[in-house]
């Protein structure tokens, strides 16, 4: 039986590095594609010269919400055009499946937890760029029969996450014995990197000829002070915590994923409790000090 070739764009990012390692461990043939490896997916000629693949997992793109307000053109240009170029590649090369990683797209929730039928509501340019990409994916699936799986990832965390996200920010400030944060109010559904990787692996094997969307989270939300207190407890550190009470523009105050569809159809189950994930994350950062 021929081993499927899995192309992973954004292979050098937080999710991509873990996914590539995990796929190789289970015997998958992986084609890593990343700007850091010399592949600019904004360039049509670069995409045209990529090798054939059976499955594409498209992770590449910009992800930081505050930067989408500062530089919306870059956010839209990179996220939309790289996705469009890879979908066109999938069409021309007869790719068997396209897997796209999206984000929380529901805005201020009308009910919790939010399922995939919840109305979408855009609160920032980053989210809008991802919804535009979802629409492109749906179009290529319906018009050109490319089976497509969209994973709406809630708040991913874990070793290697960029410093400007909440959890790495708190961990990095532990040594100063003073933690300064902006807004204590938001609650988020945090999902550990290995659970996200497993959801992506399940998407590879998921049999579909349609366009399917799945929420990927933990089903539990934690407010900022709860996250901080857990990190302090696990690390054994004692710090003063200061909140500036300055919120982000159009910020959503609570997100909780209904993952029943992913449980039923993908057989996805979050396996890493929040406390355990924080332990692993703190250990990773400490080992690199």
Per-residue pLDDT of 249-284, as tens digits, reads: 888 999 999 999 999 999 999 999 999 999 999 999
Q: Is residue 236 part of a domain?
A: no
Look at residue 46 in the predicted model and tell me its pLDDT.
97
Q: Is residue 250 part of a domain?
A: no
Q: CA-to-CA distance for 263 and 271, rounded, in angstroms?
A: 12
Q: CA-to-CA distance for 235 and 191, rounded, in angstroms?
A: 20
Query: Looking at residue 78, which CATH number applies to its domain?
Result: 3.40.50.720
Q: Which candidate, 146, 110, 141, places its Cα nearest to that of 252?
A: 110
Q: Which candidate, 98, 114, 109, 107, places its Cα nearest to that of 260?
A: 114
Q: Is residue 63 part of a domain?
A: yes
Share of the chain above pLDDT 90, in %: 89
The residue with greater pLDDT, 223 or 2, is 223
Q: Which candidate, 50, 227, 100, places its Cα nearest to that of 155?
A: 227
| Distance, C-alpha 146 to centroid of its chain | 22
Please state the domain count of the chain.
1
Q: Is residue 42 part of a domain?
A: yes
**Structural domain boundaries enclosing 209:** 5-156+192-217+256-271
- Please give the backbone phi and psi of residue 29, each rounded to the nearest 5 degrees, phi first: -90, 120
Q: Is residue 225 part of a domain?
A: no
- 56 contacts 146 by C-beta, under 8 angstroms: no
Spatial CB neighbours of 56, under 8 Å, sequence gap ≥ 6: 6, 7, 9, 86, 89, 90, 95, 97, 98, 99
Q: Is residue 118 part of a domain?
A: yes
Which SS3 state, helix, strand or coil, does residue 79 take? helix
Q: Is residue 222 part of a domain?
A: no
Give, as one character, the DSSP assignment of residue 2: P
Q: Which candidate, 7, 6, 19, places its Cα nearest to that of 47?
A: 7
Residue 2 pLDDT class (50, 70, 90 cuts): low
Detail the DSSP E strand segments found in the chain: 5-9, 29-33, 55-58, 97-102, 148-153, 155-157, 178-181, 187-188, 190-192, 211-216, 222-223, 240-243
Q: Is residue 51 part of a domain?
A: yes
Per-residue pLDDT of 174-188, as tens digits, reads: 878 899 999 999 999
- Please give the model's pTM, rounded to 2 decimal places: 0.96
Look at residue 288 in the predicted model and tell me its pLDDT.
82
Per-residue pLDDT of 190-236, as tens digits, reads: 999 999 999 999 999 999 999 999 999 999 999 999 999 999 999 99
Look at residue 289 in the predicted model and tell me its pLDDT.
67
């Amino acid at each position: 039986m021929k081993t499927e070739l899995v192309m992973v764009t954004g292979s050098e990012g937080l999710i991509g590095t873990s996914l590539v390692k995990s796929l190789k461990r289970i015997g998958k043939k992986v084609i890593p594609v990343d700007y850091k490896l010399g592949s600019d997916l904004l360039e049509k000629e670069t995409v045209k010269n990529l090798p054939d693949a059976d499955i594409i997992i498209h992770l590449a793109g910009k992800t930081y919400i505050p930067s989408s307000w500062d530089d919306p053109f870059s956010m839209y240009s990179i996220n939309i055009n790289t996705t469009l170029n890879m979908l066109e590649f999938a069409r021309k090369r007869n790719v068997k499946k396209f897997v796209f990683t999206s984000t929380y797209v529901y805005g201020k929730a009308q009910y919790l937890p939010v399922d995939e039928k919840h109305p979408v509501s855009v609160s920032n340019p980053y989210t809008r760029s991802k919804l535009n990409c979802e629409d492109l994916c749906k179009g290529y699936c319906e018009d050109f029969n490319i089976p497509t799986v969209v994973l709406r990832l809630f708040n991913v965390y874990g070793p290697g996450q960029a410093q400007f996200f909440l959890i790495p920010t708190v961990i990095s400030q532990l040594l100063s014995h003073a933690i300064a944060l902006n807004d204590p109010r938001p609650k988020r559904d945090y999902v550990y990197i290995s659970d996200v990787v497993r959801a992506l692996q399940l998407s590879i094997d998921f049999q579909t000829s349609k366009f399917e969307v799945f929420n990927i989270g933990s089903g539990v939300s934690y407010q900022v002070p709860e996250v901080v207190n857990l990190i302090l407890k696990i690390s054994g550190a004692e710090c003063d915590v200061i909140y500036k009470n300055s919120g982000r523009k159009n910020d959503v105050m609570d997100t909780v994923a209904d993952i029943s569809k992913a449980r039923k159809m993908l057989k996805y189950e979050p396996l890493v409790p929040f406390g355990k994930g924080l332990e692993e994350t703190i250990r990773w950062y400490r080992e690199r000090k």
